[in-house]
Structure 1
Amino acid sequence: MSSTVIGVLALQGDVREHLAALEGAGAAARPVRRPAELAGVDGLVIPGGESTTMSKLAAAFGLLEPLRARVREGMPAYGSCAGMIMLADKILDPRSGQETIGGIDMIVRRNAFGRQNESFEAALEMDGVPGGPVEGVFIRAPWVESTGAAVRTLAAYDGHPVAVRQGNLLATAFHPELTGDHRVHAAFAELVRAAA
């Protein structure tokens, strides 16, 4: 067991599920709600939820600028669904006042796969995650419209990137934390350990 600690941004969304998935992957995990808590982690998971609400709460809790600073400094971060939107440099169709942390040179489209009742699951081959396909749970999921040269696509669905990596930043349009399969979280924990 390593001494690295991975935080889960605990403002809104499926925080408990990510904490459980990280622990299932053998990582020490804790919720992060304040700048002081952010300063005490080696990596951060930004969960699924509602990206506009998350953006507003991050600003209200004084976390937006510290998050941007840590990402710029190279802190590993993993965003699932709304977390992918939060790590995007640009949103194609932002809500009024919506801001991102940024860090991944990509443009994302919110709710690209449809509304809540159009949620679905799909088996995805994901580069960097050994052991066969991962089960992708897509709930009002975004997709990546375009990426810069430094972004590597790790998985695609229906012609659109749904898992990407740029340096220490990882993002998926789907929710691996809802499947009981901890391989994506294990891959992220490995990235955090390597960066530390």
Structure 2
Amino acid sequence: MKIGVLALQGAVAEHVRMIEQAGAEGVVIKKVEQLQEIDGIIIPGGESTTIGKLMHTYGFIDELRQFAAAGKGIFGTCAGLIVLATEIAGQTQPHLGLMDMKVQRNAFGRQRESFEADLQVKDLDHTVRAVFIRAPLILEVSDQVEIVSEFEGQIVAARQGKLLAASFHPELTDDIGMHRYFVDMLNDK
């Protein structure tokens, strides 16, 4: 199985390393043509507005919508979660608009309020170490979306079919739990 990491911004090499530790082949994705070669893709963190603009510039918006419509998986981490959402609090336009949830940017504060926490994740038998850096929050989900993890009663990870979203950066720890979760999710044809 091949899983790509969208290389427009964020911790690309770290995600590739985690994908490979989770048992799949990691591929750096810089061109839309490469989407045909992979089974799933991770949209890493960074700054969601910038990622959205770069996705438009390089033609990824429609291609990723088609990718998801074809039943392939997308995992958005931190800003990638925002990119997946159908609604962003305080903004009129979503980016991909694929995952039926409302999110809030920088919900946990600015850079200096960054923190780490151990989270319970549905269907994992161990806690996952999560790094929250200017993290977004999932405010609301439809009944099509399954809540995967919460932190202090707030939704920080969710799944809708082959779409997975996390408020945090799983790639900045040594814990491959979330990447293994995504690989297993894609294997569940």
| Structure-2 separation of matches of 1:129 and 1:172 | 15
- Of 10, 23, 28, the match for 1:13: 10
Report the TM-score when normalising by structure 1.
Answer: 0.92
Query: Secondary structure, in 3 states, of the residue corresponding to 1:57?
Result: helix
- Structure 1 residue 93 corresponds to structure 2 residue 90: yes
TM-superposed CA distance for 1:72, in Å, is 2.2
- Using the size of structure 2 for normalisation, the TM-score is 0.96
Q: Using the TM superposition, give the Cα deviation of residue 167 of structure 1 relative to its aligned residue in structure 2, in angstroms.
A: 0.7
> Shift in Å at residue 26 of structure 1?
1.3
Q: Verify the 8 A CA contact 2:132 2:168 in the aligned structure 1.
A: yes
The one-letter code of the counterpart of 1:174 is F
Could you say which residue in structure 1 is the equivalent of 2:137? Answer: 143
The residue identity in structure 2 corresponding to 1:112 is: A
Which amino acid counterpart does residue 178 of structure 1 have in structure 2?
Answer: L
Cα distance in structure 2, aligned partners of 1:14 and 1:93 = 26
Structure 1 Cα separation of the partners of residues 152 and 180 of structure 2? 26
Tell me which of 175, 178, 186 is aligned to 2:172. 178
Note if 1:24 corresponds to 2:21. yes
2:90 maps to amino acid: D
Residue of 22, 44, 47 corresponding to 2:41: 44
* Structure 2 partner of 1:134: 128
User: How many residues are aligned here?
Assistant: 189
Contact 2:132 2:169 in 1 (8 A): yes
Contact map agreement 1:14 1:47 (CA 8 A) in 2: yes
**Are the counterparts in 1 of residues 109 and 134 from structure 2 also a CA contact under 8 Å?**
yes
2:80 alignment partner in structure 1:
83
Shift in Å, 1:136: 1.2
Measured after TM superposition, the shift of residue 99 of structure 1 is: 4.0
Q: Which amino acid aligns with 2:111?
A: Q
Partner of 2:146: 152
Q: CA deviation at 1:171?
A: 0.7
- Where 2:164 maps in the other structure, the secondary structure is strand
* 1:102 corresponds to: 97
Q: Kindly report the root-mean-square deviation, in angstroms, between the aligned alpha carbons of the 2 structures.
A: 1.2
Where 2:188 maps in the other structure, the secondary structure is helix
